[in-house]
A and B are shown apart, each in its own frame.
Chain A
């Protein structure tokens, strides 16, 4: 798991890297929750540009991020999804409740 983040004008960008599966999902979930609680952003952007693979564990990562952001009345956006992660997200139906920005930033 590797994760980088930066805060700019109340917007927290968290970039995820590599493959997201059950093996590393818990670490991602906890790290993202920690960042959101520490920075209290109005908007949190999950950047998937460098995520080369995810299974349904990635859906749990996105849903948990949304829970954390909603708790502090913020908004969550997901961006940079490659074809494979996007297909998993669409199959799960969470694209109907989460704002997904097509392509990179």
Chain B
């Protein structure tokens, strides 16, 4: 895959890093001259994916989260968020709106929001090995 630019971030699954991760990706995306709405969508989707890693992938321990962003041709921002946590046994159930194993503090809308806010979204997971969320967002070329 040809790409113009890329960056990789690695950080422990501490909730203080949620804000860091979404801001870092937004800063990287800034070179594509996105609109405020596009930037908001990207920040939201990254926040959801990273939160999932913190809450679900590593429920009892601190593990490593990797975020890789690439800029592909035609103004496409490609984001991969990866953990080596417990994995998701039933992906179909996990993606269902309002489904959560996170209790009253969670809304069960994470995957729904990632799907709604990004152009492409896919998730692969292997129980005991980890989860990979792959998202793409095509940004409008501004006149």
Contact present for B18 and A22 (CB under 8 Å) = yes
Q: For the complex, is A57 an interface residue (Cβ under 8 Å from B)?
A: yes
Known: A22-B18, A91-B116, A92-B113. A60 touches B44 (CB 8 A): no
Option from A57, A84, A88 in Cβ contact (under 8 Å) with B106: A57
Residues in A with CB closer than 8 Å to B66 are none
Query: A32-83: which residues lie under 8 A (CB-CB) from chain B?
Result: 53, 55-57, 59-60, 63-64, 83
Q: How far is the CB of A94 from chain B (nearest CB, A)?
A: 8
* Pair B19/A19 contact, Cβ less than 8 Å: yes
Q: Which residues of B contact A55 (CB under 8 A)?
A: 44, 47-48, 51, 110, 113
For the complex, what is the distance from the CA of A60 to the CA of B36, rounded to whole Å? 24
Q: Quick check: B105 and A56 within 8 Å, CB to CB?
A: no
A residues touching B (Cβ–Cβ < 8 Å)? 19, 21-23, 25-26, 29, 53, 55-57, 59-60, 63-64, 83-84, 87-88, 91-93
How many residues of chain B have a CB within 8 Å of chain A?
28
B positions within 8 Å CB-CB of A: 15-16, 18-19, 22, 36-37, 40-41, 43-44, 47-48, 51, 54-55, 97, 104-110, 112-113, 116-117
> In the complex the two chains form, is A88's CB within 8 Å of B44's CB?
yes
Report the 8 A-B pairs with minimum CB-CB distance, sorted nearest first: A84-B40, A23-B15, A59-B107, A55-B47, A56-B109, A22-B51, A60-B107, A91-B116
Are B105 and A29 in contact (CB-based, < 8 A)? Answer: yes
Q: Is the CB of A57 within 8 A of B51?
A: yes
Does the CB pair A60–B104 fall under 8 Å? yes
Smallest beta-carbon distance B113→chain A, Å: 5
A60's nearest neighbour on chain B, judged by CB, is B107
B54 lies within 8 A of A56 (CB): no
